[in-house]
Copies of this chain bind each other. A is one copy, B any other.
């Protein structure tokens, strides 16, 4: 998915929100906005929004002078998610359809996204989780996903955000043991999950963890490590979490199951879903299947 003109004001708003979260120094805010304007001006609209996001967050890290300015905020949401985990695990296990409930909760946790929600707080997360248990899915390929899981002898699970990744456990626990690789970002970028977050979640106890080798808040296959590229090519099943991964993978040829919460009007238009919609989608060769 390529960025469109509507992304321009949004990038600048995201940059402003993000740098304010990372620093209190108004001179830093000004320098970041100035540099982001220059980068946005060079946009060719051949880039996906997360590729532009990567450039913006490189500027923020450089100007703030910290390699991971959202580290504390990521830890906060990791801990928050871990506190919710026992209750949500019971909810899943007591459900008549535990797999479906696990998927719904893992998608609901995709709301923990600093890039798209300056309004993010605990209440918004709780509200998203609450809705997830009953809200009709905007796109519903749950049954197909469940079948694919049963058949798969290798699964690549592309994680998205810190905090969210703790609740991904609810779903990864439902996947066959010994076949799952969870891929995280190769370096900190906004609140995206890195190896540290996967370890905090304890995912290493039930899955293989790899990092994708990039600081793009999505999965641009051509930029990823060879290990990730090989797994992406060979896995029986690829499960992709979140908008960033969707935006960067939507035109890939191979079959991918996308689990995401729709958080921007551009993605909503692309999918024919409302903002806020919960999507469990199968996509192949750029087409919904």
Chain A interface residue bracket vs B: 10 to 19
Shortest distance from the beta carbon of A160 to any chain B beta carbon, whole Å: 24
Shortest CB distance A252–B (Å): 26
Cβ-defined contact, B12 with A16, below 8 A: no
For residue A136, give the distance in angstroms from its CB to the closest CB of chain B.
28
In the complex, A57 has a CB within 8 A of chain B: no
CB distance B5 to A9 under 8 Å? no
Q: Which residues of B contact A10 (CB under 8 A)?
A: 9
Encoded as 1 (CB less than 8 Å from any B CB) or 0, chain A from 35 to 49 comes to 001101100010000
- Distance in Å from the Cβ of A116 to the closest Cβ of chain B? 14
Kindly identify which residue among B9, B16, B26, B29 contacts A16, using a CB–CB cutoff of 8 Å.
B9
Contact partner of A41 among B6, B37, B45, CB < 8 A? B37
Which of these, B29, B38, B41, contacts A5 with CB under 8 Å?
Answer: B29
Contact with B along A19-38 (1 / 0, CB 8 A): 00000001001100110011
Q: What is the oligomeric copy number?
A: 2
* A residues in contact (CB < 8 Å) with B: 5-6, 8-10, 12-13, 16, 26, 29-30, 33-34, 37-38, 40-41, 45
- Which of B6, B12, B41, B45 is in CB contact (< 8 Å) with A8? B12
Chain B: minimal CB distance from A222 (Å): 26
Closest to A36 in B: B8
**In the complex, which of the residues B12, B33, B41 contacts A34, with contact meaning CB atoms closer than 8 Å?**
B41
Q: Which 10 A-B pairs have the closest CB atoms?
A: A9-B13, A9-B12, A37-B41, A9-B9, A8-B12, A5-B33, A5-B29, A37-B37, A5-B16, A8-B33
User: With A and B bound together, what is the CA distance between A13 and B29 in angstroms?
Assistant: 20
Would A30 and B5 count as touching, CB distance under 8 A? yes
A47 to chain B, nearest CB (A): 14
A111 to B28, alpha carbons, bound, how many Å? 35
Q: Which residue of B lies closest to A17 (CB)?
A: B9
When chains A and B are docked, how far (Å) is the Cα of A37 from the Cα of B45? 15
- A120 smallest CB distance to B (angstroms): 18
A160 to B59, CA, bound (A): 40
> Which B residues are CB-close (under 8 A) to A37?
8, 37, 40-41
